[in-house]
Amino acid sequence: MLKRRTLTWTLGLAAGIGLALPVCAQETYIPLISKGFQHQFWQAVKAGADQAAKDFKVKVTFEGPETEAMVDKQIDMLSAALAKHPKALGFAALDSKAAIPLLKKAQAEKIPVVAFDSGVDSDIPVTTATTDNLAAAALAADKMAEFIGKEGDVAVVVHDQTSRTGIDRRDGFLNRMKSTYPKIKIVSVQYGGGDQLKSTEITKSILQANPNLKGIFGANEGSAIGVLNGAKEMKRKIVVIGYDSGKQQKEAITSGAMAGAITQNPVGIGYKTVEAAVKALKGEKLPKVIDTGFYWYDKSNIADPKIAAVLYD
């Protein structure tokens, strides 16, 4: 009798486990592979993704390499994420071409890919949640022109020339200057990997080579802080225009050391990425690009509630 009861209980337990397994297997897992973790920008993107995960009841992980120069490490992270057979995937490419073979694999496995912040040179992503970086950098160029009286020498320090954000911010700035401000000359475009220290050294060498330089545009958080530090170390008074936010940029703008910057909506980027992945899994039609918006901010409007809402520390 005891044996029979034990057998019945064991079969019941096994049946219960069997019923429970498909529920676990059906958990919607969406890994997000970002460009890095070293900037406060990415922490803000993660906060948005985490909020969306709660709202849509999905499991999200968020990771990126230590620096934005580590393309190979990011590819390894992408490969590892795909090996877990996620339901969908978010990806911010450090190199707009390098990841395409792996993204083709995702496509073959019917895993929807949502590009965020920085797209890829492919139609594989179902959408891209991003800032209109061409338009935002063009606005930065307009502001630079305004500050320097629409003439003189300026330079640009960009985070890279392989990601979509690096390319578009560089080109948006250069194209606007070329088309609209004939008396402004771009004397140097350098790439600092988004690293503050490297961007500082680049800025110092640019300033050394160009004694009449009037301004520098730093195309992301690390670049902008590097430009600021380089100018300070060289004791040069130039117009510094940045991109993104973060504690140091906000302090520099408040003090007047930096003229102003473009801010994205990083929390919105993270949120919209997860939301788009969920919609894709439901078969909903998505726009090719989800424009998450941008603003110019300086000392005059940094406390404006609309601006403060998209700034981060």
Give me the pLDDT at residue 18, please.
40
Average pLDDT over residues 216-240: 97
Q: 272 pLDDT exceeds 90? A: yes
Query: Which pTM does this prediction carry?
Result: 0.85
Q: 185 pLDDT exceeds 60? A: yes
Give me the pLDDT at residue 7, please.
37
Mean pLDDT of the chain: 92
Q: 188 pLDDT exceeds 80? A: yes
238-257 residue pLDDT tens: 999 999 999 999 999 999 99
Phi and psi at residue 207, to the nearest 5°: -65, -40
Average pLDDT over residues 133-154: 98
Q: 121 pLDDT exceeds 50? A: yes
Q: 10 pLDDT exceeds 80? A: no
How far apart are alpha carbons 310 and 203 in whole angstroms? Answer: 28
Give me the pLDDT at residue 189, please.
98
Q: 21 pLDDT exceeds 80? A: no
List Cβ<8 Å contacts ≥24 apart for 78-86.
Answer: 78/33, 78/102, 81/31, 81/33, 82/106, 82/109, 82/111, 84/29, 84/31, 85/109, 85/111, 86/29, 86/30, 86/31, 86/111
Give me the pLDDT at residue 252, please.
97
Going by C-beta distance under 8 Å and a sequence separation of 6 or more, which residues neighbour residue 123? none
Nearest partner of 220 among 94, 100, 308, judged by Cα = 94
How far apart are alpha carbons 263 and 306 in whole angstroms? Answer: 11
Average pLDDT over residues 128-148: 98
Q: 11 pLDDT exceeds 50? A: no
Give me the pLDDT at residue 218, please.
98
User: Which of 6-10, 62-66, 122-126 is predicted with the least confidence, judged by mean pLDDT?
Assistant: 6-10
> How sure is the predictor about 9, in pLDDT bands with cuts at 50, 70 and 90?
very low
Phi and psi at residue 261, to the nearest 5°: -155, 165
Whole-number Cα distances in Å, 195 to 206, 245, 287: 16, 15, 33
